[in-house]
Structure formats: C-alpha cells, structure tokens
Amino acid sequence: MSLNLDHIRPLFPALDVHDHGRRRTYLDNPAGTQVPRQVIDRMLHALVHCNANMGGNFTTTREATALVDSAHAAMADFYNANSAREIVFGPNSTSLAFVITRAIAHLFNEGDEIIVTRMEHDANASPWRILAEERGLVLKRLDFDRANYQLNVEQLDELITDRTRFAAINYASNLLGTINDVKGICSRIRAAGGLTYIDAVQYAPHGPIDVQELGCDFLVSSAYKFYGPHQGVLWAREELLEKLHPYKLRVSSNDLPGRFETGTQSLEGQAGTLGAVDYLEWVGQTMGTEFKIANRSHTERTSNVHAGLRAMASYEETLSTRLIEGLVGFDDVIVHGITDPAQFAKRVPTVSISKPGMRPADMATALDDKGIFVWDGHSYALDVVEWLGLADKGGVVRFGPTHYNTIEEIDFTLEVVADFLRRS
C-alpha cells in the first residue's frame, strides 16, 4: 500500500497556510519539518492538563511524570533501544553533544586519537574538536570523495591505530544527502577499542534506526526533523551511561536517564515527540503494511514506526528522482551528491546545488517570491562546503522534499528554477 497524501496532508495544518493567495511549498525540511495534528494535540494536552514539574505528590505532577515516561518509552521503540533508561532528552542535538563531551572526557588520555569525518554537521564536529583541544587528543579527519560524495572508508585503515578511542560519524549528510555505512564503520572502530557517536539527525526522517543492529555506542537525532517539536533525543548504551560522569546539579537524580537530564526539561517538547512517534506509527499501521519486516527484537510499535518510515522513504525516492533529474538538466548546475538513480538507496532526498557565478541567496530569494522555501549557504556543514571549495562562494542552495510534498510541488519548483536561471 503506497502513501495516501489525501490522508496525510490534511493532518499538517501548516500545509494549508497561504501567503498572498499562494499556498506555501516547504522544501526547507532538512532544517526542520512541519508537524501533524498528533504532535499539536499532545503538546496542547500537556500544557493544559498536566503543566507541572515531575516527581511531586499531586495530580498534575503525577500525570506529567507519566507523560515523560511515555515519551522515553516511545523513543526507545523508535531507536529499538533495550530500555527507556537509555534515552536522554535535551533541547537539541548540539546541546546533547556538548553534554557528552563533558561526560566522556575522563575516558581519554593525552595523545589518544579521535576521528571525525569531513561530512559532518558542525554539531558533530566542533564539540569533538574542542574536546580534543582540551584533553590534548589527536584529531584525525576521514575524507569524502569529491567525485562520488561518499566517505573514503578505505582511509580508515590509515587512520585507525592502537590509540584510536573515538569516532564521530553522520548517518546521512545534511548537505550531500549521502547515507553512510555506519554499521561497517562502527564495527571497525569497535574492533580497535573505540567508541562511536552517530549523528542521525538528517537520516531519522527518512529511514528506520536500529541501534542494536548498528552496533554504535551513542546516537542522536532531533524530533523537529521527524515531524515533532524542537527536542534532541540521545540514545546511549546503558552500561556506558552508568560509568560516565555527567555535569549535574546535586539535587538531580543519580538514576538513568535523569542524571543526564539536569534542570527542568520541556514537558511539552517531550509530549510533542511522543506525538511524532504516534504519527509515524499511524503511517506504518495504515500505509506501511508491505514495508513491515518481522524482527523478534522489535516491539509492535517499533515494527510499525519502521514500516512507516520505509513507506515514506519509498515515496520520497520518487520526489528526489524527479528533482535531481530536473536539476542535472540545467546548464552548468552542479548537484553535490549522488545523481545516479541506481544509487538512490544510498542517499536521502536532501539535494544541494551550485552554479559558477551564481549567488545561492539570489536563487533562494527568487524561490521565496513564488512561495517555495529552501535554504542557502553552508547549513552548518562548514567542513563540507570548505572541502568542496564553496565556502567563499555563498555555499549551496539546498532542497529537501519529504513525504508530505507532492510531485506537482517539485515540478513547480523546477519551473521557477528554470525561469531564474534564464534571467540570471
């Protein structure tokens, strides 16, 4: 059963917003998606019915505590974690990365080596650079091929030594769209005795995540990228979390995950994240039957959520195919990512372009004039645009269709791009 956009799109109120009589076309989804009714309803309920801190002895606090427990359980199923004790909420993925740099610093000695790829969002690069500077660690870089936009995995043989202690890897690039062989890289780092931290922020809206299958040690994503509110959600192995040293208040819990969630958490944010998982589960139950895969380690919710994500990814490939085929047809336009349809299983629908002599901001502005929203610049992938030689050229224009977008929106976007290129 394929996705039924007639059922999906009405669930997203933002998709019906008009500016000057024109309905908005959201292709800025890599930076943050719109939210369905399930998310809005969960957040509204939290703010109206149980707007209190957790852990008290009255009705609203008990309901709030139950709600956040449900949110942790939902994200445990989203990731196929062993336990909700392995789920840590935070304001965003960047903040959570810095939390972990503080907590793991004691595991490293001067001269130990860490690996970071040149494909990272800065949130999965700068925290580890800073940690390396503070602890006297050796920072090594895993390059990607400028021709095929994939990591040079064979370079790992040169980078890994008996001092390798840590590697930060993105599941999918937020600029190139490339899906990386996270499982294979984690296996090689683990064999060398190192820990792995996976940035799954860009991948999470476009495919199922199974941390047990990946074999990583940490993994983080952001709910606002998979149709939820602004929340970061970290998974880490329970035995690892137990031995880390969190920076926390004396009054904060010493139990998991509370020892890493110091301070007042966002009740409404966790409620909305639960709503996002509700939505993905609904997609899997109603439209993902053919994408459901039996796995004895999965709960029923995990199975449904993963089926929904696979169904969405299958449809999104039709959107990215249409978009990429159109973009590569324009003279001198460079698509920075995989463009071979036979290789599209190795990418998410995040598509970035540049053109010699063109200011990306000018194209983004022209698209906005027609109600089409895209990002221009580096999108926090500073290492990527520097490696591509685009840092002093305004970066790229980034398009990001997702499952609620339509073929008609893609075609209209290509028409506007064509008109802009003719006039520029």
Which residues lie below 8 Å from residue 204, measured CB to CB, with a gap of 6+? Answer: 171, 221, 222, 225, 226
Q: What is the pTM of this model?
A: 0.97
* pLDDT of the residue at 60: 98
User: Judging by DSSP bridges, how do beta strands 22-23 and 18-19 pair with one another?
Assistant: antiparallel
* pLDDT of the residue at 239: 97
Q: What is the per-residue burial (b if ≥16 Cβ within 10 Å, else e) of 242-271?
A: eebebebeeeeeeebbbbbbbeebbbbbbb
* pLDDT of the residue at 321: 97
Q: Where are the alpha helices (DSSP H) in 256-375?
A: 267-287, 300-328, 360-368
* pLDDT of the residue at 253: 87
In a domain, 240, yes or no: yes
Same domain for 53 and 32: no
Same domain for 32 and 58: no
d(CA 261, CA 253): 9
Same domain for 254 and 334: no
The CATH number of whichever domain residue 270 belongs to comes to: 3.40.640.10
Last residue of one domain, picked from the residues 280, 314, 340: 280
Same domain for 59 and 28: no
357, two tokens: 């002599």
* pLDDT of the residue at 127: 98
d(CA 365, CA 4): 32
Identify the segments of the chain with pLDDT beneath 70: 1
Task: Tell me the pLDDT tens digit for each residue of 240-253.
Answer: 999 999 998 888 88
Run of H or E including 43: helix 37-49
Range of the domain at 271: 40-280
| Beta-bridge partners for 399 | 351
Same domain for 252 and 106: yes
* pLDDT of the residue at 372: 98
* pLDDT of the residue at 364: 98
User: Judging by DSSP bridges, how do beta strands 164-170 and 195-199 pair with one another?
Assistant: parallel
Same domain for 55 and 16: no
Same domain for 381 and 252: no
In a domain, 291, yes or no: no
Same domain for 352 and 266: no
Same domain for 127 and 95: yes
* pLDDT of the residue at 2: 80
First to last CA, the chain: 43
Domain count, the chain: 2
